[in-house]
Amino acid sequence: MAERIDPAVLNREVNFFVNKGTEAAPNWIMVGCGNSKDYGGAANLVTLNCDSGKKKVPDGEEPDYDMQLTGFVFEYAAADIATNVSRREFETWFKTVPQVLRSYRLAGKYTNDLVREFQAYIASFRETGSNGEARTYTIAFTIVGLPELSDQE
């Protein structure tokens, strides 16, 4: 991994990876055609009706996390499928019943950049585009459990 030259910079590049191996022997493959990644979570709050008035408090459950990926559609030759992740694979994983829980990683490219690792199901898949223009796909992921945060090595 490359070291940052400046001590503080805007994080303008975050890459998305799919584990195409196993949990014991991961094989992280970058989604090279991804161009937008939206990630976040929300805590569930409940309103308590107390003698002193209403109070909003966390419900005590884990927050819900999700992610959305948008990418350009590329068709890969059979010999290149193992080293790439295509929208065809995402769609195949999406339509498989029951769907398999997969491992993903959202990570910066420099040493000590934030790495978020999580397991998720594909909640929705959409492909769009006009003839003669670059087609894109959008995938929504529902994250199961809490993401693990670490630093890029």
* Mean of the per-residue pLDDT values of the chain: 91
- Give the count of domains, the chain: 1
pTM: 0.85
Structure tokens at 88: 């065809």
Positive or negative torsion for Cα 109, 114, 120, 126 = negative
In a domain, 6, yes or no: no
Do residues 1 and 152 make contact, with C-beta atoms less than 8 angstroms apart? yes
In a domain, 4, yes or no: no
In a domain, 3, yes or no: no
pLDDT beyond 80 at 29 = yes
**Which among 138, 113, 107 has a CA at the least distance from the CA of 29?**
107
Please compute the mean of the pLDDT values over residues 23-51 and round it to a whole number.
92
Look at residue 153 in the predicted model and tell me its pLDDT: 83
Please compute the mean of the pLDDT values over residues 44-65 and round it to a whole number.
92
pLDDT beyond 80 at 6 = no
The domain that contains 39 carries what CATH number?
Answer: 2.40.30.200
Q: Mark 7-35 as b/e (b = at least 16 C-beta within 10 Å).
A: eeeeeeebbbbbbbeeeeeeeebbbebbe
In a domain, 145, yes or no: yes
In a domain, 2, yes or no: no
In a domain, 103, yes or no: yes
In a domain, 107, yes or no: yes
pLDDT beyond 70 at 1 = no
Q: Which residue has the higher pLDDT, 6 or 74?
A: 74
Residue ranges making up the domain that contains 139: 14-151
Q: Mark 50-87 as b/e (b = at least 16 C-beta within 10 Å).
A: eeeeeeeeeeeeeeebebebbbeeeebeeeeeeebbbb
Please compute the mean of the pLDDT values over residues 5-21 and round it to a whole number.
79
In a domain, 46, yes or no: yes
Look at residue 82 in the predicted model and tell me its pLDDT: 87
